[in-house]
């Protein structure tokens, strides 16, 4: 059994806490989204229960991931800063029921297990924190972009106008 696989229900019952660092290169799905595999993510996982007695996790993930800018196609460092509250359920049916009872968009209900991979959870959290279309606030070399904007394109309707 991998060191990252734990009994998540026991983890919450005992109110355990784990924290550490993981390389972006060690998270295959995240590395596939990144421009390169450099970077380390810091994470913290705290078990416990909420006011209603449901077992829950508090997860924080932070650190840089290098993404490819969709405007200029160069790499840039994107800083992940994510905090989540995750309520545990025994199965999908219970998860749906708990989700309806909580009626809180800021709390995610997940199905736990006795062999729960916390690295997969950390990777899921990091992936959800990535922007859909990553881009610089201001691209460092906008000369190519400026050149494209300077080219005047003919309107497709001008061709129709000439057909009259």
Nearest by Cα to 135 from 59, 50, 77? 77
Distance CA 56, CA 58 (A): 7
Domain ranges of the chain: 5-138
Q: What are φ and ψ of residue 49, in 5° steps?
A: -145, 155
* Residue 73 per-residue DSSP state: -
**Is pLDDT at 158 greater than 80 in this prediction?**
no
The β-bridge partners of 128 are none
Whole-model pTM over 0.75: yes
Tokens 């009259």 correspond to: 164
> What is the pLDDT at residue 142?
61
At residue 103 the predicted structure's pLDDT band, cuts being 50, 70 and 90, is confident
Q: Which residue stretches of 7-87 are H helix?
A: 8-13, 28-33
Give residue 1's pLDDT.
43
Burial (CB count within 10 angstroms: exposed 0-12, middle 13-18, buried 19+), residue 137: exposed
Query: What single DSSP character describes residue 154?
Result: P
pLDDT digits (tens, 9 = 90+) for 29-43: 999 999 999 999 999
Q: What are the tens digits of pLDDT across the range 4-30? A: 899 999 999 999 999 999 999 999 999
Cα–Cα distance for residue pair 81/61, rounded to 1 Å:
6
């Amino acid at each position: 059994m991998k060191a990252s696989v734990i009994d998540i229900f026991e983890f919450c019952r005992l109110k355990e806490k784990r924290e550490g660092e993981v390389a972006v290169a060690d998270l295959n799905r995240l590395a596939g989204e990144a421009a390169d595999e450099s970077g380390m993510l810091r994470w913290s996982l705290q078990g416990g229960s909420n006011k209603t007695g449901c077992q829950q996790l508090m997860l924080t993930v932070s650190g840089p991931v290098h993404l490819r800018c969709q405007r200029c196609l160069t790499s840039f460092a994107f800083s992940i800063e994510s905090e989540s509250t995750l309520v545990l359920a025994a199965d999908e049916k219970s998860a749906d029921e708990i989700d309806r009872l909580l009626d809180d968009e800021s709390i995610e209900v997940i199905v736990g297990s006795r062999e729960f991979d916390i690295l997969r959870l950390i990777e899921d959290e990091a992936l959800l924190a990535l922007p859909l279309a990553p881009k610089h606030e201001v691209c460092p070399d906008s000369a190519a972009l400026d050149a494209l904007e300077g080219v005047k394109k003919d309107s497709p309707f001008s061709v129709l106008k000439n057909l009259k």
